[in-house]
């Protein structure tokens, strides 16, 4: 059997491409693999030749040293690939199929999966509900920023593209179905975006841009995006969003009033998460800033969609409470305004088929919205550095140079 190459976390601020073992239909011991998962047989799985795999902001949290990720962890949970081997229990997915892989690993059998809560599957992570590829404390399923990867529960999870040639023509859009597009869309749905809504999106990284585009698809009358980086705000403006530079303005409500005529919105989306910064020219990290600010500017009775990542432990934080996942949130304000909060990982399978159809019809232009940028596997370390530096790009890795540019 051939070899494999993958993007591996080395230490804070450093990733590299290493030779790794070719995947098998069994979960072997390795960095980050839960000991209780070692030896787990996956005859229900497939081996994929990775066509595209994306760098995610969640990966960046690990690379910055803001989690307990071990050295040697293979990164990557946004995977699109071609099936090259199927397990003996796989019935409907066939060799040669081109498929999108939800970042949530889900068995399809447990009570959560039967409720379509595939983001909190009860069978794939021995420590707690929910699992993902290449992510710390998520059961140790090997990541997909690689040439080949094993995907379990293939019949249940995989989204097969109906026409391979059509899919390859739109692959930079379709690669977003594994995580970022459903995650942004979930944020907008959770926030209750509907026809005519005025929406605020905190963060103009790829998830924030995906949430903004999703809000437009759902009928928002205006989408306002706030961020600290002007390059990212320019990307939001490129597809019709209003923007606020929070480095230059520390009064969010005042800026919203200039745009909307009132200092509040119908609903808001937190696409930043636990590494949030304060507002203003000299502001530093302040992890509760976004949650408190969106409560402040969302109308009474409004909803807050929170796809931004929050963690149970942040060893790299300068705030002692935040190191244990505790934030100083003005919950009383949210209570007084009768806000609804929706948190947690996105149940990708609730959305990915409909979003695929929106892409194939031309209705959704997600690659354009997030500025999808193709790179080779060897350029992944450089992509991580550029992304960490604030580049307004969604880096898409093409391990086998299969994508027509």
Q: What is 4-179+347-397's CATH topology?
A: Quinone Oxidoreductase; Chain A, domain 1 (3.90.180)
> What is the per-residue pLDDT for 133?
97
CA angle 182, 355, 96 (to 5 degrees): 100
> What is the per-residue pLDDT for 153?
98
DSSP state of 30: -
> What is the per-residue pLDDT for 287?
86
> What is the per-residue pLDDT for 93?
98
Q: By percentage, how much of the chain surpasses pLDDT 70?
A: 99
The alpha helices in 153-299, defined as continuous H runs, are: 154-157, 164-169, 171-174, 180-190, 206-217, 230-237, 252-260, 289-297
Structure tokens at 135: 């992510």
> What is the per-residue pLDDT for 331?
94
DSSP state string for 40-54: EE-TT-EEEEEEEEE
User: What average pLDDT is seen over the chain?
Assistant: 96
Answer whether 57's CB lies under 8 Å from 205's CB: yes
Summarised one tens digit per residue, pLDDT across range 86-100 is: 999 999 999 999 999
Name 326's Cβ contacts closer than 8 Å, sequence gap at least 6.
Answer: none
Summarised one tens digit per residue, pLDDT across range 167-222 is: 999 999 999 999 999 999 999 999 999 999 999 999 999 999 999 999 999 999 99
Confidence (pTM)? 0.96
Summarised one tens digit per residue, pLDDT across range 291-310 is: 999 999 999 999 999 999 99
Structure tokens at 312: 């149970």
Mean predicted confidence (pLDDT) in 353-365: 98
- Residue ranges with strand state E in 235-375: 242-245, 265-270, 298-305, 340-342, 372-375
Residue 1 confidence (pLDDT) above 70: no
Distance of alpha carbon 241 from alpha carbon 233, whole angstroms: 9
The confidence band for 56, taking pLDDT boundaries of 50, 70 and 90, is very high
> What is the per-residue pLDDT for 318?
82
H/E run at residue 227: strand 222-227
Q: At what angle do helices 180-190 and 352-360 cross, to 10 degrees?
A: 110
Summarised one tens digit per residue, pLDDT across range 106-128 is: 999 999 999 999 999 999 999 99
> What is the per-residue pLDDT for 17?
98
Which superfamily, per CATH, for 180-342?
A: NAD(P)-binding Rossmann-like Domain (3.40.50.720)
The confidence band for 285, taking pLDDT boundaries of 50, 70 and 90, is confident
> What is the per-residue pLDDT for 216?
98
Q: Are strands 222-227 and 298-305 parallel, antiparallel or unpaired?
A: unpaired
Name 336's Cβ contacts closer than 8 Å, sequence gap at least 6.
Answer: none
Every domain of the chain and the residues it spans: 4-179+347-397, 180-342
CB-neighbour burial class of residue 296 (10 A; exposed 0-12, middle 13-18, buried 19+): middle
Mean predicted confidence (pLDDT) in 51-60: 96
Mean predicted confidence (pLDDT) in 356-383: 98
Summarised one tens digit per residue, pLDDT across range 232-276 is: 999 999 999 999 999 999 899 999 999 999 999 999 999 999 888
Nearest CA to 85 out of 42, 27, 133, 120 is that of 42
Distance of alpha carbon 279 from alpha carbon 283, whole angstroms: 6
What is the helix, strand, coil percentage profile of the chain, to 5?
Answer: 30, 25, 45
> What is the per-residue pLDDT for 24?
97
Distance of alpha carbon 144 from alpha carbon 57, whole angstroms: 15
Residues 128/311/137/119 CA torsion (nearest 10 deg)? 50
Structure tokens at 137: 């404390």
Summarised one tens digit per residue, pLDDT across range 137-163 is: 999 999 999 999 999 999 999 999 999
The domains spanning 4-179+347-397 and 180-342 adopt the same CATH topology: no
Handedness of CA 17, 18, 19, 23 (dihedral sign): negative
Q: By percentage, how much of the chain surpasses pLDDT 90?
A: 89
Residue 283 confidence (pLDDT) above 90: no
Residue 354 confidence (pLDDT) above 60: yes
> What is the per-residue pLDDT for 279?
92
């Amino acid at each position: 059997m051939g070899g494999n190459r993958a993007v591996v976390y080395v230490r804070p601020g450093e990733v590299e491409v290493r030779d790794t073992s070719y995947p098998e239909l069994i979960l072997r011991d390795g960095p980050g693999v839960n000991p209780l998962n070692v030896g787990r047989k996956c005859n229900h799985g497939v081996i994929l030749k990775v066509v595209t795999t994306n760098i995610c902001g969640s990966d960046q949290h690990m690379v910055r040293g803001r989690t307990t990720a071990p050295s040697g962890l293979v990164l990557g949970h946004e995977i699109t690939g071609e099936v090259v081997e199927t397990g003996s229990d796989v019935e409907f997915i066939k060799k040669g199929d081109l498929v999108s892989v939800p970042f949530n690993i889900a068995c399809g059998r447990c009570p959560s999966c039967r409720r379509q809560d595939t983001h909190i599957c009860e069978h794939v992570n021995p420590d707690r509900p929910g699992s993902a590829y290449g992510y710390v404390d998520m059961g140790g399923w090997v990541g997909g920023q690689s040439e080949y990867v094993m995907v379990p529960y293939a019949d249940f999870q995989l989204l097969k593209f109906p026409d391979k040639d059509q899919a390859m023509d739109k692959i930079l859009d379709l690669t977003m179905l594994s995580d970022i597009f459903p995650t942004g869309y979930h944020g907008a749905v959770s926030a209750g975006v509907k026809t005519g809504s005025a929406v605020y999106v905190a963060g103009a990284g790829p998830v924030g841009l995906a949430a903004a585009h999703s809000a437009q698809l759902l009928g928002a009358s205006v989408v306002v995006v706030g961020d600290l980086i002007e390059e990212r705000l320019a990307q939001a403006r490129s597809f019709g969003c209003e923007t606020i530079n929070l480095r230059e303005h520390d009064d969010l409500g005042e800026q919203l009033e200039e745009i909307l005529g009132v200092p509040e919105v119908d609903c808001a989306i937190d696409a930043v998460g636990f590494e949030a910064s304060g507002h203003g020219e000299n502001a530093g990290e302040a992890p509760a800033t976004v949650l408190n600010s969106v409560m402040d500017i969302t109308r009474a009775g409004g909803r807050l969609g929170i796809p931004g990542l929050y963690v149970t432990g942040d060893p790299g934080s300068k705030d002692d409470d935040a190191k244990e996942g505790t934030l100083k949130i003005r919950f009383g304000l949210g209570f007084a305004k009768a806000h609804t909060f929706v948190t947690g990982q996105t149940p990708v399978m609730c959305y990915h088929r409909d979003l695929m159809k929106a892409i194939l019809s031309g209705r959704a232009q997600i690659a354009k919205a997030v500025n999808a940028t193709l790179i080779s596997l060897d350029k992944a370390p450089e992509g991580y550095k550029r992304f960490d530096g604030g580049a307004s790009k969604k880096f898409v890795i093409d391990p086998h140079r299969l994508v027509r540019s």
